[in-house]
Amino acid sequence: MILHGNARGGAGDLARHLMRDDENDHVYIHEVSGFMANDLHGAFHEVEALSRGTRCEKFLFSLSISPPKGANISTEGFERAVKKAEEALGLTGQPRVIVFHEKGDNRDRHAHVVWSRIDVAEMKAIPMPFDRMRMKEVSRELFIEHGLDVPRGLINRAERNPLNYTLDEYQHAKRVGQNAHEVKAAIQSAWAQSDNAVSLSAALQERGFRLARGDRRGFVAVDVNGEPFALAKWAGVKTKAVRERLGPESLLPSLDETRAAIAQDMTCKMNQFQAELSAREEQRKQEAACQRRQMVERQRTERAQALEQIRQRQQREAFERQARFRKGLGGVWDFLRGETRRIKLRNEQEAREAEQRDRAEKDRLIQSQMAQRQQWQARNRLIEERARVLGQEVRQNREQFTERREAAQKGYLQRRNQAQDQSRDRLRGPER
């Protein structure tokens, strides 16, 4: 079932929206609990009045629960969905209303649930971080619970077949990992959307598992690391139901064979990743060299322009200083009264200051350009290090999968030889 919810205010508007019968064939209130009022308008206004004692503006949480078309979900099924949702959202025990809508030619039925977010005891709003993520998880669980095909948008990336990963998705999966809850959800989802061994094998493989014959546990789902999970246990069904749906497990490959096949496929995948990394690294080097050339050319242009501006200013200032000396009789008079000497000393002082200023400007420009190059080099080294670490991880994984393949093949051969020896012994009979 698809769950969509959000925190909101507007008590009156929400009540009117939920009770509109012009957009729905049927509207009926299933539950009003935890309020003094027994109608939507009264209940929502109660929450609004309480919220004035807090700073909360979005004092309601409204959630729609919509089954896929054709799904026949009972009222009890909706109620279980509401219970799961409010537990995930941290709204258990809060006042709530449940309203059912039916619309369309197919009489599609869906539910609207509205909770109060106001904790009366604490007189504060209940925080609801990551509510969308939590609703997505509940939605996945409900699809599995009701035996419905899980929409692709709800399939967790961590549950996908690693053989279909891109290099970036592989990096993400390595960071996220996989926990027991995700394994159980993946196996249950695969079981829910299959009706025989072929469809189950395909569904499991989509999620990164292989169906196999276990050593002592009948049917098992084997993950990418070769770890077996007892199918009945992790799918949450009885062993008898598994055998009825899948038939004899003897038709399936053994655990060792499956491990060897997985390891072989993953080794090929790691080889593919390594080749892609090598291509990326070569491209990165070319791009880095191009970026460096462009940066150097830009800095050379900036430096030439700055030096030209300094040169032009020096010429202008030198002309201005020289213009202070008067010519003709005025110049003779300035010389006789010592004004020429004073101008000369002033010009020399200003020239020294101008030289120091120009030198400082050149140094600042050089230092600024050096800082740019250092920053670029630091970023480039960081990218190089990340690529090196990823490449090392891929090589290590390839080696691990190669070792697992060899170990599984060795185990398979040993078991086969033992079985052949036992068969020959039975044919010979007891020694006399």
What is the reported pLDDT for 156?
Answer: 53
Listed in order, strand segments (DSSP E) in 329-432 are none
Task: Provide CB contacts within 8 A for 340, sequence distance 6+.
Answer: 325, 331, 334
Band (pLDDT 50/70/90 cuts) for residue 10 is: confident
Burial 115-150 (b: 16+ CB within 10 A, else e): bbbbbeeeeebbebeebeebbbbbbbbbbbbbebeb
Tokens of 289: 């060299």
Across the range 397-418, mean pLDDT stands at 77
Cβ pair 159, 91 in contact under 8 A: no
Whether residue 159 has pLDDT greater than 90:
no
**Could you write out the DSSP letters of every residue in 229-275?**
EEHHHHHT--HHHHHHHH--GGGSPBHHHHHHHHHHHHHHHHHHHHH
Residue 67 φ/ψ, nearest 5 degrees: -70, 160
Whether residue 344 has pLDDT greater than 90:
yes
Mean pLDDT for all residues in the chain? 82
- The string of pLDDT tens digits covering residues 288-305 is 899 989 999 999 999 999
Task: Provide CB contacts within 8 A for 116, sequence distance 6+.
Answer: 34, 46, 47, 50, 59, 60, 94, 95, 96
Round to whole Å and give the CA distance between 238 and 244: 10
- The string of pLDDT tens digits covering residues 113-138 is 999 998 888 888 888 876 777 787 78
Amino acid at 194: S
Q: What is the pTM of this model?
A: 0.48
What is the reported pLDDT for 428?
Answer: 60
Q: Tokens 């919810």 label which residue?
A: 5
What is the reported pLDDT for 172?
Answer: 47
- The string of pLDDT tens digits covering residues 49-75 is 988 888 888 999 988 888 877 677 888
Band (pLDDT 50/70/90 cuts) for residue 312 is: very high
Give the rounded percent of residues in the chain with a pLDDT score beyond 70: 85
Identify which has the larger pLDDT, 334 or 164: 334
Round to whole Å and give the CA distance between 158 and 86: 25
Across the range 187-212, mean pLDDT stands at 85
Amino acid at 182: E
Round to whole Å and give the CA distance between 88 and 86: 5
